[in-house]
Structure 1
Amino acid sequence: MHMADLGGIRLHYRIDGNPEGRPVVFSNSLGTDLRMWDKVIARLPQSLRLIRYDRRGHGLSDAPPAPYAMGQLVRDTEQLLDHLAVRDCVFVGLSIGGMVAQGLAVKRLDMVRALVLSNTAAKIGTPQMWHDRIASVASGGVEVLADAVMERWFSRPFRATPEAAAWRNMLTRTPVDGYAGCSAAIAGTDFYTTTASLTLPTLGIAGTEDGSTPPDLVRETLGLIKGSEMAVMHGVGHIPCVEDPDAYAALLNDFLTRLGHV
């Protein structure tokens, strides 16, 4: 296990592949940890430097008191990548991780050469929706949201598999401060104007069964970025890298190859 002490926050991270390879950074969704990427990492070229981390309030990273701000989450990621001397990475962000990706790319073009915006948007939901979820979690823990979240995360066939129980357990074991803190960050984020300033190569990925960020919402955000492209994965929900890692990794491999990053 690796912990980066960034002065005020300690983040857990992992590096696979070649420590000297070209960097690809992964940022996961609300209510998950870096294991979300396990199946995809195993299907990518091991010549790459494959970096993933637990954001504050998740996994093995520190969980300071809520609320958090999106700028804080972007700064955490920036400090971690500075700590690891990362430049010119391809940044793969899913859901809130995709919002962090947008914020980081605007702030640090030296750090990010291309984006993969997966199951995400420049603005997700409404502030009231997130504040209602924060109130629910504060009174009853993450468990009170779990069944509804699973319906958004995964297709019906996947929810019937034994593996789905493990993902539900991961969700419900997320610290209340972590879940509420990051929910507050999403509630306060509207990146439409700043994301529209981006011109770097960008791949968008959406799932037809995604109940959180459906394809039309992802497409709207991709439309802000000149020259972006989009892939729609069929029969999968909000976390397609878990449901169909073969297809997801194939999309990443094709994008990385065309970029000349592999």
Structure 2
Amino acid sequence: MGFVKLAEGDLNYRLDGPQEAPVLVLSNSLGTDLHMWDAQVPAFSEHFRVLRFDTRGHGQSLVTEGPYSIEQLGRDVLAMLDQLGIDKVHFCGLSMGGLIGQWLGINAGERLHKLVVCNTAAKIGDPSVWNPRIETVLRDGKAAMVALRDASIARWFTPDFAEAQPATVKQITDMLAATSPQGYAANCAAVRDADFREQLSSIQVPLLVIAGTEDAVTPPSGGHFIQERVSGAEYAEFYAAHLSNVQAGAAFSARVLDFLLDSGRA
């Protein structure tokens, strides 16, 4: 664990894996922290220097005045890489992290080797979804975060997985309850305002899009939309709800590694 100093505060990060290996950045979803990737780290760190971080407003990272934007969060990533002396990386982001990945692919492709975006869309929801949530969280604070935690189980996991793996579900959803209400609301605004539908075709780096068959938050249709607009992009789908990396586990990790390690996809 460590911190990089941004202009407004500290960004929490963690590095795992061989120092000389290529760097793979993992970017968390809205309402989680870098530990949402714990299941992937053993497999990924065999081949990569795995760089995880808490997105601004989450975990141990800085919480600043909102609203945030995906551009702002993307520039946080670039600032982190600059401070750590890292020129180019592979990047894998889920949901909000997938929006950050799209922004990087569109605006900073020279910093990327390959890009993986998971359980995401070029535009996620609309103001009628996000504005009431923002208002509730800012009004009710921690009580609202606890309520969101309980409601998130059905969004993030299929019922059979939630029943079979209660400890895993609790570990992940507890991250939401622990998230700063101010930070969460500010990030909701970033997701609300992001719309990359007209810019996707400018992504030039190799891209893998991953979706969950049972994902009601970002359905497979959103993943297909991205894949169809980025030249040469690949698509994979797993039986999972919104957090496919957690629910699909080893199969998710294997598919990402297959994509990243294949030199023919350079």
TM range (shorter): over 0.9
For residue 220 of structure 2, the aligned residue among 215, 218, 221 is 215
Contact kept? 1:67, 1:177, Cα under 8 Å: no
Q: Which moved more, 1:201-210 or 1:147-156?
A: 147-156
Q: 2:247 aligns with which of 237, 243, 246?
A: 243
Equivalent residue, structure 1, for 2:91:
91
Distance 1:116 1:62 in 2: 25
Give yes or no for the alignment of 1:173 onto 2:173: no
User: How much is the aligned-residue C-alpha RMSD, in angstroms?
Assistant: 1.6
- Aligned-residue offset at 1:251: 0.4
Q: How does 1:216-231 map to 2 (within 5 A)?
A: 216-231=221-236
- The count of corresponding residues between Structure 1 and Structure 2 is 261
Give the Cα–Cα distance (whole angstroms) in 2 for the partners of residues 47 and 257 of structure 1.
8
Residue 45 of structure 1, CA deviation: 4.6
More helix by share: 2
Alpha-carbon contact 1:119-1:205 (below 8 Å) kept: yes
1:259 Cα deviation after fit: 3.3
Give distance in 1, aligned partners of 2:71 and 2:133.
21
Unaligned runs of 5+ in 1: none
- Runs (4+) off by over 4 Å: none
Alignment counterpart, residue 149 of structure 1, candidates 139, 149, 152: 152
Residue 147 of structure 1: how far off its partner (Å): 2.9
Work out whether residues 136 and 144 of structure 1, in 8 Å CA contact, stay in contact via their aligned partners in 2. Answer: no
Segment drifting more, 135-144 vs 216-225: 135-144
**1:94-133 deviations in whole A, cap 9, x for unaligned?**
0000100111122222211211010011110002211111
Of all paired residues, the percent bearing the same amino acid is: 38
Query: Does the CA contact (< 8 Å) of 1:137 and 1:145 recur in 2?
Result: no
The answer for unaligned runs of 5 or more in structure 2 is none
Q: 1:164-207 CA distances to partner (integer Å, 9 max, x unpaired)?
A: 12222111111001110100001111111222211221001111
Cα distance change, pair 259–125 in 1 and its aligned pair in 2 (3 A): farther
CA contact (8 A) 2:31 2:184 kept: yes
State the alpha-carbon separation in 2 of the partners of residues 180 and 115 from structure 1: 27
The residue matched to 2:26 in structure 1 has which SS? strand
Quote the offset at 1:18 in angstroms.
1.1
TM-score, normalised with respect to structure 2: 0.93
Q: Distance in 2 between matches of 1:154 and 1:119?
A: 12
